[in-house]
Amino acid sequence: MSDAPTKEMDRSALDPEVEKALKALDLDPARPLIISDADEVLLQFVAGLELYLDRQGLWLDLQSFALSGNIKEKVTNKPVPIERTPDLLADFFVSEAGKLEAVEHAASALKTLSGRAQIIILTNIPFAQRDARAESLARQGMDYPVIANKGLKGAAVHYLAKQTSGPTFFLDDLPHNIRSVAEAHEPSRRLHFIADKRLAKLLPPSEHSHFHSSHWPDAQTFIEEELSTSGF
Ligand SMILES: [Mg+2]
C-alpha cells in the first residue's frame, strides 16, 4: 500500500541511485532469486500507520485500497485533504521506518527459503530511511540486502533477474508493481501478498500474479514447490 504510480514514472527506467545499489549486490548467478517487498509483506505497514495516525488525531478508514481520501480526522470524521497524504507518509517513514513489526512467520519462512535461494528486499522507502529499515528487518530475523527503490519495480527486478539463471520470485502487495514486473520480466513467478486481512479483502488478486495469500507458510510452500519443479 503506501505508494501510487504517477505519470512521470517511466516503467523501463532505473533510477540512478537504485541502479548503484543494485550494482553493489554480490549475486550468485547460479542461485534462484526471491525479491520481496517490505511494507505489508514482511512488515506490518498498515498496523504501524494506524498507530502513527492515532497519535496525530487521525484514523484510517479502510473502505477502499487507498490511503488518499481515507485518512480522516478523529474528531470531525472529515477526510484530510488528499494533498496532505504525501507529507503525512513522508513523516510516517521518518518516525516509524525502524519500528514496524514483522509479519507473522515472515522471518522463519525466509530463513528456510534462504537455504535454496538468495533473498533481496526491494522496498519503496525514501533513501534516507533505508538504513533504519534494514536494521529493523535484521533485528527481527530478516538480515538480507535491502534496496530502496523508487517508482515501479519492474526495472529493478529485470536488472536482478538477468544476472541469474535460476527462477526469480517476486512478492508485493501492490497490483501496479506486480503488473510492472510481469511486463519487465515475464518469466518471473509473482506472488500477490497482502499481510493485513482487512486490506486483502478490499482487492482482488492481481491478474498478473501466480499466487495470492496473506499467510507466509502458504507462500513458502508455493515457492518451495516451484523451486522443486525447476530443479532447485
Ligand atoms: Mg508494499
Residue 113 lies in a domain: yes
Same domain, 37 and 57: no
CA distance 143 to 194: 21
Contacts of 56 (CB under 8 A, 6+ apart): 88
On the question of pLDDT at 8 being above 50, the answer is no
Rounded to the nearest whole angstrom, what is the distance from the C-alpha of residue 37 to the centroid of ligand 1?
6
Question: Model confidence over 43-96: pLDDT tens digits?
Answer: 999 999 999 999 999 999 999 988 999 999 999 999 999 999 999 999 999 998
On the question of pLDDT at 185 being above 70, the answer is yes
* The three three-digit cell numbers of residue 69, written as one number: 481520501
Could you tell me the residue range of the domain that residue 64 belongs to? 46-96
CA distance 137 to 218: 21
Same domain, 84 and 66: yes
Rounded to the nearest whole angstrom, what is the distance from the C-alpha of residue 40 to the centroid of ligand 1?
5
Residue 52 lies in a domain: yes
Residue 165 lies in a domain: yes
Rounded to the nearest whole angstrom, what is the distance from the C-alpha of residue 1 to the centroid of ligand 1?
5
- pLDDT, residue 13, reads 83
On the question of pLDDT at 6 being above 80, the answer is no
Q: What is the mean pLDDT of the chain?
A: 93
Residue 9 lies in a domain: no
Same domain, 161 and 79: no
Rounded to the nearest whole angstrom, what is the distance from the C-alpha of residue 2 to the centroid of ligand 1?
7
- pLDDT, residue 7, reads 42
Q: Output the pTM of the full model.
A: 0.93
On the question of pLDDT at 1 being above 90, the answer is no
Please count the CA atoms within 13 angstroms of the CA of 37 that sit on its side-chain side.
30
Rounded to the nearest whole angstrom, what is the distance from the C-alpha of residue 46 to the centroid of ligand 1?
10
Rounded to the nearest whole angstrom, what is the distance from the C-alpha of residue 173 to the centroid of ligand 1?
5
Rounded to the nearest whole angstrom, what is the distance from the C-alpha of residue 164 to the centroid of ligand 1?
24
Same domain, 79 and 159: no
- pLDDT, residue 17, reads 94
Rounded to the nearest whole angstrom, what is the distance from the C-alpha of residue 41 to the centroid of ligand 1?
6
- The crossing angle, in degrees rounded to 10, of helices 45-55 and 85-96 is 100
Same domain, 213 and 223: yes
Q: How confident is the model at residue 123 (pLDDT cuts 50, 70, 90)?
A: very high
Question: Model confidence over 194-222: pLDDT tens digits?
Answer: 999 999 999 999 999 999 999 999 999 99
Same domain, 86 and 115: no
pLDDT above 90 covers a percentage of the chain that reads: 91
Same domain, 225 and 115: yes
Arithmetic mean of pLDDT, 100-126:
97
Same domain, 225 and 153: yes
Residue 11 lies in a domain: no
- pLDDT, residue 118, reads 98
On the question of pLDDT at 3 being above 70, the answer is no
